[in-house]
């Protein structure tokens, strides 16, 4: 199932000023017909969270034949007796929930697609209040075989799916994020998993979701939760003091660590703050671009909020439309209006060419300007990957300038990066406190010396304890030196629950050596990005953007900045000379780092390396 999802400026929500866009891809899974014996169990409790559902066999009361909770998928139904669980023994096979859906829908692919479209519609509704739209643009049903390995190990499944997305899916279909919806019964209490603050990245922009409920709302809530992690949203815990308009016994909010019935349908104040902070720091540089509406799944409709073929505007349903330029009934412009939507449309008129419509958000971002011919701001642009940034301390990657020092400041306040020996010794352990992530088997991987600065972040100085919240454990490691004395290395372990990989790891795109950058927990050469070859054609009067075109300084014209002109690029629109200062890559504010999750009580762990390590 392919979906596209974007952020929009809506007239029924005035809290957000940006006209942000995002494309989202949803991939759903079904497997071939699997014969099975159905078993029914009854639950004592009507309200039950997923943790109880997955771990408390005592809650189950046997009704027919003996059956355990080992190797089964669970599907929730409702009848006069309360909540009924249909347990499907897998007999060693990976039984998918959509196998059941396929059977329940009479092996009708169209009915399966209809259900999945309903899931996407729920997610769209959840995110609308954040000015994020979800639009279904296609469906893919895997009815014969899996296109990537999917097992009960969520870490391995996430790893395999993200690899498949990068290698197979991205070249076939341009998108910003991929979510796998599956019926695999994951080990432990996990019903979904996604990397935090990974939106738009090549390697990690995606997640996995278990379709755990007969009600499509259940899968939609889990999908929205994991998508929230991609956006940088952390869990809503009591320690954070999040405001939620819905009481916990009535569902609570979407980013609660565990949930159940009734399902949550809204985001908390913490989620909104996390999202705003992520966007400000440069997470999600791909979110600002207009999607292609011609590929929307289900055909066009006046009133869906998307300006489709044959429409001049679309401000939503008549009762929600507050756009003074658009007729909600006919999706046509009113009177002498020439536009109704877009950052380059004001009072139903186009703004002049050169009017700034999107400022740069950080040192790796580029500004955009109105063209005078289109109501939409040009697609968001940023510096080509591999551009030096922050006084040569980092390299731009996906529009963000990541450095070890900035991550240390995020963790400890006024701190600095620890010496290389800290990274090498601590991350060679291959344990929860020092590693290069997890391997395909879900085990902590030891870092080779050359990749050590891409493992767990190591710092010195700063506050007495991590400033990121009560769920962070302080890890202090004393390393003896050959010349005598010891060096103190400060790391952290962040307790996240079961649905996020550890954000205490060094972030992708961080500079790990001169001319080197962290990618996939390895220190790799930036020359592979080709930034120097690209910038060489700009004649020293501009920089290369992510589309491999020159962004020229004011007074110079694209495409090669070799003649007089209005600045900007072929992609960004022209600068207005009277109001724009000459642009340089270092003229914008630097990234402030990344916020990590806040959850549980503070504790401190001290490790001592034995003398034989020296």
What gap in Å lies between CA 37 and CA 578, rounded to an integer? 75
DSSP code of residue 612:
G
What gap in Å lies between CA 585 and CA 551, rounded to an integer? 10
Q: Given pLDDT bands bounded at 50, 70 and 90, which one contains residue 347?
A: very high
Mean pLDDT is lowest, of 61-75, 203-217, 273-287, 306-320, for 61-75
495: pLDDT strictly greater than 90: no
pLDDT in the model for residue 562: 95
Integer CA distances (angstroms), 394 to 174, 181, 516, in order: 28, 36, 9
pLDDT in the model for residue 597: 28
Q: In 322-408, which ranges are E strands?
A: 326-327, 332-333, 345-346, 349-350, 356-358, 368-369, 388-389, 394-397, 400-402
**Phi/psi at 135 (nearest 5 deg)?**
-125, 125
43: pLDDT strictly greater than 80: no
Active site residues: 226
pLDDT in the model for residue 45: 25
Q: Given pLDDT bands bounded at 50, 70 and 90, which one contains residue 434?
A: very high
pLDDT in the model for residue 432: 86
Integer CA distances (angstroms), 607 to 183, 415, 422, in order: 41, 20, 12
SS3 letters across 50-113? HHHHHHCHHHEEECCCCCCCCCEEEEEEEECCEEEEEEEECCCCCCCHHHHHHHHCCCCHHHHH
pLDDT in the model for residue 95: 26
pLDDT in the model for residue 294: 66
Q: Which residue has the higher pLDDT, 436 or 173?
A: 436
Q: Given pLDDT bands bounded at 50, 70 and 90, which one contains residue 465?
A: confident
Q: Which residue has the higher pLDDT, 560 or 410?
A: 560
Integer CA distances (angstroms), 546 to 4, 190, 382, 557, 573, in order: 21, 36, 6, 18, 15
Mean pLDDT is lowest, of 84-98, 187-201, 546-560, for 84-98
Taking the C-alpha atoms of 592, 597, 602 and 608 in order, what is their torsion angle to the nearest 10 degrees?
A: -70
pLDDT in the model for residue 470: 54
Integer CA distances (angstroms), 600 to 264, 349, 470, 523, in order: 22, 52, 5, 32
Q: What is the CA radius of gyration of the chain?
A: 26
pLDDT in the model for residue 291: 63
15: pLDDT strictly greater than 70: no
18: pLDDT strictly greater than 70: no
Integer CA distances (angstroms), 58 to 41, 42, 50, 71, 321, in order: 11, 11, 14, 17, 51
Sheet strands side by side (includes 25-28): 25-28, 178-182, 206-210, 192-193
pLDDT in the model for residue 30: 28
23: pLDDT strictly greater than 60: no
Q: What is the mean pLDDT of residues 383-402?
A: 92
pLDDT in the model for residue 576: 65
**Phi/psi at 116 (nearest 5 deg)?**
-70, -35
Q: Which residue has the higher pLDDT, 79 or 259?
A: 259
By residue count, the chain amounts to 614
451 assigned ligand-binding residue: no
Predicted TM-score (pTM) above 0.75: no
What gap in Å lies between CA 196 and CA 210, rounded to an integer? 18
Cβ neighbours, 10 Å, residue 136: 25
225 assigned ligand-binding residue: yes
Domain definitions of the chain by residue range: 2-31+104-288, 39-96
Burial (0-12, 13-18, 19+ Cβ within 10 Å), 68: exposed
Q: What percent of the chain is modeled with pLDDT above 70?
A: 70
Q: Which tokens go with 288? A: 């600002």
pLDDT in the model for residue 499: 57
481: pLDDT strictly greater than 70: yes
Q: What is the mean pLDDT of residues 16-33?
A: 32
Q: Given pLDDT bands bounded at 50, 70 and 90, which one contains residue 387?
A: very high
pLDDT tens-digit readout, 510-524: 999 999 999 989 999
pLDDT in the model for residue 284: 75
Q: Which tokens go with 28? A: 């759903």
369: pLDDT strictly greater than 50: yes
Q: Given pLDDT bands bounded at 50, 70 and 90, which one contains residue 397?
A: very high
Burial (0-12, 13-18, 19+ Cβ within 10 Å), 13: middle
Multiple choice CATH, 2-31+104-288, 2.30.110.10, 3.50.50.60, 3.40.50.720, 3.40.390.10: 3.40.390.10
Q: Given pLDDT bands bounded at 50, 70 and 90, which one contains residue 526?
A: very high
Q: Which residue has the higher pLDDT, 234 or 289?
A: 234
pLDDT in the model for residue 587: 37
Closest among 299, 265, 341, 352 to 21, alpha carbons compared = 341
41: pLDDT strictly greater than 50: no
539: pLDDT strictly greater than 90: yes
Average of per-residue pLDDT values in the chain: 74
Integer CA distances (angstroms), 491 to 128, 157, 478, 552, 606, in order: 38, 28, 11, 42, 10
DSSP letters for 7-47: E---TT--S---------EEEE----------EEEEES-SS
Q: Given pLDDT bands bounded at 50, 70 and 90, which one contains residue 94?
A: very low
Q: Which residue has the higher pLDDT, 144 or 191?
A: 191
235 assigned ligand-binding residue: yes
Q: Cα–Cα–Cα angle for 115, 121, 123, nearest 5°?
A: 110
Mean pLDDT is lowest, of 77-81, 331-335, 411-415, 473-477, for 77-81
Q: Which tokens go with 353? A: 């060419």
What gap in Å lies between CA 23 and CA 137, rounded to an integer? 10
Q: Which of 55-59, 146-150, 356-360 has the highest mean pLDDT?
A: 356-360
């Amino acid at each position: 199932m392919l979906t596209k999802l974007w952020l929009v400026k809506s007239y029924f929500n005035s809290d957000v000023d940006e006209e942000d866009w995002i494309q989202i891809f949803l991939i759903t899974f079904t497997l071939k017909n699997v014969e099975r014996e159905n078993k029914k169990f009854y639950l004592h409790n009507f309200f039950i969270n997923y943790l109880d559902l997955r771990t408390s066999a005592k809650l189950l009361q046997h009704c027919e034949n003996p059956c355990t909770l080992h190797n089964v998928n669970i599907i929730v139904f409702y009848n006069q007796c309360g909540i009924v669980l249909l347990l499907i023994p897998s007999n060693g096979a990976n039984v998918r929930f959509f196998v059941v859906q396929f059977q329940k829908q009479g092996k009708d692919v169209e009915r399966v697609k209809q259900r999945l479209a309903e899931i996407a519609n729920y997610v769209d509704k959840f995110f609308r209040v954040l000015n994020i739209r979800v639009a279904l643009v296609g469906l893919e049903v895997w009815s014969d075989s899996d296109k990537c390995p999917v097992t009960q190990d969520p870490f391995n499944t996430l790893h395999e799916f993200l690899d498949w997305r990068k290698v197979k899916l991205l070249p076939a279909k341009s998108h910003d994020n991929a979510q796998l919806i599956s019926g695999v019964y994951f080990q432990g209490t996990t019903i979904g998993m996604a990397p935090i603050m990974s939106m738009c990245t090549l390697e990690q922009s995606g997640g996995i979701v278990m379709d755990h409920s007969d009600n499509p709302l259940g899968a939609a809530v889990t999908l929205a939760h994991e998508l929230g992690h991609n956006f940088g949203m952390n869990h809503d815990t009591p320690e954070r003091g999040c405001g939620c308009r819905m009481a916990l016994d009535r569902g609570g909010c979407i980013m609660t660590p565990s949930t159940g019935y009734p399902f949550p349908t809204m985001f908390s104040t913490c989620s909104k703050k996390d999202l705003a902070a992520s966007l400000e720091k440069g997470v999600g540089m791909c979110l600002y671009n207009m999607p292609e509406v011609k590929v929307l799944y289900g055909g066009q409709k006046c009133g869906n909020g998307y300006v489709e073929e044959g429409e001049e505007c679309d401000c939503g349903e008549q009762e929600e439309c507050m756009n003074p330029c658009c007729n909600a009934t006919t999706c046509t412009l009113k009177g002498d209006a020439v536009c109704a939507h877009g950052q380059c449309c004001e009072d139903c008129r186009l703004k002049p060419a050169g009017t700034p419509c999107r400022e740069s958000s950080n040192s790796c971002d580029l500004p955009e300007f109105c063209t005078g011919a289109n109501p939409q701001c040009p697609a968001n642009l940023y510096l080509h990957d591999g551009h030096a940034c922050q006084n040569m301390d980092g390299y731009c990657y996906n529009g963000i300038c990541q450095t070890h020092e900035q991550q240390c400041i995020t963790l400890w306040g006024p701190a600095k990066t620890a010496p290389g020996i800290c990274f090498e010794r601590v991350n060679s352990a291959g344990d929860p406190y020092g590693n290069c992530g997890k391997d395909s088997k879900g085990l902590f991987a030891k870092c080779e010396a050359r990749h050590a600065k891409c493992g767990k972040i190591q710092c010195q100085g700063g506050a007495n304890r991590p400033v990121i919240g009560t769920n962070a454990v302080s890890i202090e490691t004393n390393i003896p030196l050959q010349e005598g004395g010891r060096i103190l290395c400060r790391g952290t372990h962040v307790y996240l629950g079961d649905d996020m990989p550890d954000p205490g790891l060094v972030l992708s795109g961080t500079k790990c050596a001169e001319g080197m950058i962290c990618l996939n927990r390895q220190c790799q050469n930036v020359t592979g990005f080709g930034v120097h070859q690209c910038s060489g054609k700009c004649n020293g009067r501009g920089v290369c953007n992510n589309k491999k075109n020159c962004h020229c300084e004011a007074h110079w014209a694209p495409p090669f900045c070799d003649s007089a002109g209005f600045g900007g690029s072929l992609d960004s629109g022209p600068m207005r000379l009277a109001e724009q200062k000459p642009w340089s890559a270092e003229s914008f504010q630097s990234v402030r780092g990344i916020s990590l999750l806040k959850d549980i009580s503070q504790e401190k762990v001290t490790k001592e390396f034995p003398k034989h390590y020296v």
